[in-house]
Amino acid sequence: MANIILLGPPGAGKGTQAKRLVEGRGMVQLSTGDMLREAKTSGSEMGRKVAAVMARGELVTDEIVIGLIQEKLTGHAGGGFIFDGFPRTLAQADALGALLAEMGQSLDAVIEMKVDDAALVARITGRYTCGGCGAVYHDQARPTKVTDVCDECDSTNMVRRADDTEDALRTRLLEYYKKTSPLIGYYHAKGALTSVDGLAEVAVVAAAISKALGAAP
């Protein structure tokens, strides 16, 4: 199955689209942000090490995230990966290329989700997710039907991320422009890049991604 990268600034909607691809195509979502948050909750040494870095909105070291991805790739020989929030630096991109090559896998598409900064700030500062099923909500744009009760699984455990504050978000955006946005040129030069308008409705963005991927298997 195809392997793809969802590339874009924080709040571009990568997680939302990844979730649809998992449901619609049976792909495997690999979100380094989720993996790091899990490590944090599990109380492991690595989790404690990264917590402060993440709360400030800075990038965790390449060594840590490459290690996490490598761990997840083993045992999934069949492919069908959605890389969500990884790679975020040129070193990570090179490492991913090498890992996929070792597995006999290819990178089939890199989807750049374009969203302007003002929209990102509005999206992120009102964002919360269901701790039960991962559904994403927003105070203004998409609140739960009943306050703090998930529409999809009835969980009342709504979670707001520690780094969804204005200060941390400013740092996350700077990190994105400095370290991650060069990947747009990197993958464009490889002929792998497709850009979609991340400001369009969720279903419209999904259709654009589907088109880039070809028919569902």
Nearest to 163 by CA among 149, 178, 150, 173: 173
Decide: helix, strand or coil at residue 51.
helix
153-172 residues near Zn ion, rule: CB under 5 A: 153, 155
Shortest separation between residue 114's beta carbon and Zn ion, angstroms: 29
113-172 residues near ligand ADP, rule: CB under 6 A: 163, 172
Residue 86 · residue 99 · CB < 8 Å: no
1-30 residues near ligand ADP, rule: CB under 6 A: 10-11
Shortest separation between residue 153's beta carbon and Zn ion, angstroms: 3
Q: Which does 60 bind (CB under 5 to 8 A by kind): ligand ADP, Zn ion, none?
A: ligand ADP
Catalytic residues: 14, 88, 127, 161, 172
Cα 92 off chain centre by? 14
* Maximal CA-CA distance, the chain: 48
Contact characters 115-134, Zn ion, x per CB under 5 A: ---------------x-xx-
Q: Which does 130 bind (CB under 5 to 8 A by kind): Zn ion, ligand ADP, none?
A: Zn ion
60-99 residues near ligand ADP, rule: CB under 6 A: 60, 65, 85-86, 88, 92
- Which residues have a Cβ under 8 Å from the Cβ of 37 and sit 6 or more positions away? 54, 161
Judged by beta carbon, residue 182 or residue 214, the one nearer ligand ADP is: 182
Nearest to 111 by CA among 137, 133, 83: 83
**CA distances for 204 relative to 74, 94, 171, 198, 207, angstroms:** 33, 31, 29, 9, 5
Nearest to 176 by CA among 187, 184, 167: 184
Residues that bind ligand ADP (CB under 6 A): 10-11, 32-33, 36, 53-54, 57-60, 65, 85-86, 88, 92, 163, 172
Residues that bind Zn ion (CB under 5 A): 130, 132-133, 135, 150, 152-153, 155
